[in-house]
């Protein structure tokens, strides 16, 4: 939705918006994956860049310069390249994203314990308990934006409102690198100018139903009798949209829950039938998952793999370890054992994935040393790699089996097609 589709009611330029009672903030990083990746490629700032890779893959993120050509997240890479052939395509750096996300969430926790993360790069915050200590909601939003920029080198946009629904809409209006406050007494005119597609829970099919009913704006919904909405949309959807159309959203910010699992998968450029090559990809994915676990301060007990064949048939296998782990080696050895146990002989593989489940915080389940493990073993090596990655970029230190002759450094490897 573009900014031109809606705006706040006009006020004099010298009159700041009234944020009284607007204790819900929605904070969203701007083009997070692209912005984070460009920290290692400052020469590309201000140019069209797509984060993704492979003709079978999808766009993870894109800079605003690429988005102007119609490139969007989750779009097939083949289409994105057609829309913006001049874009530089860079591979994702998942370990870096996890590290920056952990820093952003720590910034939020310094403000309030009432945080509801929606993904690595966005969250709701309830700042009611922080006002006495840190000032008004708008000043807290400004503080968060400054801290994220100073400490992480990326920008974020903030919506400040009295409800989650309105705060999320406001942060979208603020993008990129801005903040929008929707005063409580302006919520109804703000909401009712929106197109119906902006309402929470309105997907493509529901929007088609609303259009058939002649309802194109939120104001149209608000002034349609509730029984008519219920007949046309069903009991639950009719009541839900009626409430939102009058700015009513009773949901509160739910304190963050630990991730239930951490995983990574990879779709290959072409189908692979060599088990040794599959092992190499499992090693890369295990390293990625382990780095994310360590960045989040988590360990896991259940290792699972996903295998998708050329005909799109997909199978999963899992094994629960005796002790929780965040170690690349143990995850990899378990993943390869699970794969080898499948007994696949030259099966054509399209995708493999590795996932850790049954997660617990490190402080709640300290990692036990393995019997016979050297005093300075694999865990120390993992943490040395983490330090090198933090300084030089993820992938700067890799297992030798993941380096092929003549392969450029991952910090400079680019697809310029």
28 labelled binding-site residue: yes
Return d(Cα 254, Cα 2) in angstroms, integer: 29
State the pairing for strand pair 61-62/49-51. antiparallel
Return d(Cα 14, Cα 322) in angstroms, integer: 63
Segments of 199-336 assigned E as strands: 261-272, 298-309, 314-325
CB-CB contact of 269 with 55 (8 Å): yes
Is 151 labeled as catalytic in the residue annotation?
no
In 3D space, the residue among 248, 161, 265 whose CA is nearest the CA of residue 199 turns out to be 248
114 labelled binding-site residue: no
Which two three-digit tokens encode residue 336?
């390869």
In 3D space, the residue among 124, 100, 99 whose CA is nearest the CA of residue 114 turns out to be 124
Return d(Cα 285, Cα 307) in angstroms, integer: 13
Active-site residue identified among 116, 122, 186, 266: 122
Return d(Cα 340, Cα 358) in angstroms, integer: 23
Return d(Cα 72, Cα 63) in angstroms, integer: 10
Strand order of the β-sheet with 156-161 is: 115-119, 122-126, 24-29, 156-161, 179-181
Return d(Cα 372, Cα 224) in angstroms, integer: 72
Phi/psi of residue 239, nearest 5 degrees: -65, -40
∠ CA(241), CA(243), CA(246), 5° rounding? Answer: 105
Residues at the annotated binding site for Mg(2+)?
A: 28, 121
Residues at the annotated binding site?
A: 28, 121
Catalytic positions, written as ranges: 122
């Amino acid at each position: 939705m573009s900014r031109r589709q809606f705006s706040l009611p006009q006020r004099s330029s010298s009159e700041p918006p009234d944020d009284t009672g607007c204790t819900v903030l929605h904070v969203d990083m701007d083009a997070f994956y692209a912005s984070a990746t460009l920290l290692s490629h400052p020469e590309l700032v201000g140019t069209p860049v797509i984060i993704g890779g492979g003709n079978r893959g999808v766009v993870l993120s894109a800079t605003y310069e690429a988005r102007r050509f119609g490139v969007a997240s989750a779009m097939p890479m083949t289409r994105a390249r057609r829309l913006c052939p001049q874009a530089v395509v860079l591979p994702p750096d998942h370990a870096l994203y996890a590290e920056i996300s952990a820093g952003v969430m720590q910034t939020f926790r310094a403000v309030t314990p009432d945080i509801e993360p929606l993904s690595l790069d966005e969250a709701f915050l309830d700042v009611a308990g922080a006002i006495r200590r840190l000032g008004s909601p708008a000043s807290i939003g400004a503080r968060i934006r400054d801290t994220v920029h100073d400490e992480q080198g990326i920008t974020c946009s903030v919506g400040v409102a009295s409800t989650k629904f309105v705060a999320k809409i406001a942060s979208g209006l603020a993008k990129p690198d801005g903040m929008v406050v929707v005063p409580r007494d302006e919520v109804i005119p703000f909401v009712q100018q929106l197109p119906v597609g902006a309402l929470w829970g309105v997907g493509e099919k529901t929007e088609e139903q609303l259009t058939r009913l002649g309802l194109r704006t939120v104001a149209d919904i608000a002034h349609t009798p509730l029984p008519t909405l219920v007949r046309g949309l069903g009991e639950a959807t009719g009541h839900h949209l009626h409430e939102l159309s009058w700015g009513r959203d009773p949901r509160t910010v739910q304190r963050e829950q630990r991730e239930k699992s951490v995983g990574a998968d990879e779709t290959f450029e072409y189908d692979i039938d060599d088990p040794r090559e599959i092992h190499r990809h499992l090693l890369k994915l295990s390293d990625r998952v382990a780095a994310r676990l360590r960045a989040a301060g988590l360990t896991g007990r259940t290792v699972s793999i996903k295998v998708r064949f050329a005909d799109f048939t997909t199978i999963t296998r899992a094994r629960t370890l005796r002790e929780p782990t965040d170690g690349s080696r143990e995850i990899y050895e378990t993943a390869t054992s699970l794969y080898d146990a499948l007994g696949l002989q030259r099966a054509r593989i399209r995708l493999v994935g590795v996932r850790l489940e049954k997660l617990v915080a490190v402080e709640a389940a300290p990692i036990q040393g393995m019997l016979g493990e050297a005093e300075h073993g694999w865990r120390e090596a993992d943490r040395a790699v983490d330090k090198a990655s933090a300084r030089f970029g993820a992938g700067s230190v890799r297992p030798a089996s993941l380096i092929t002759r003549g392969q450029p450094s991952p910090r400079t490897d680019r697809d310029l097609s």
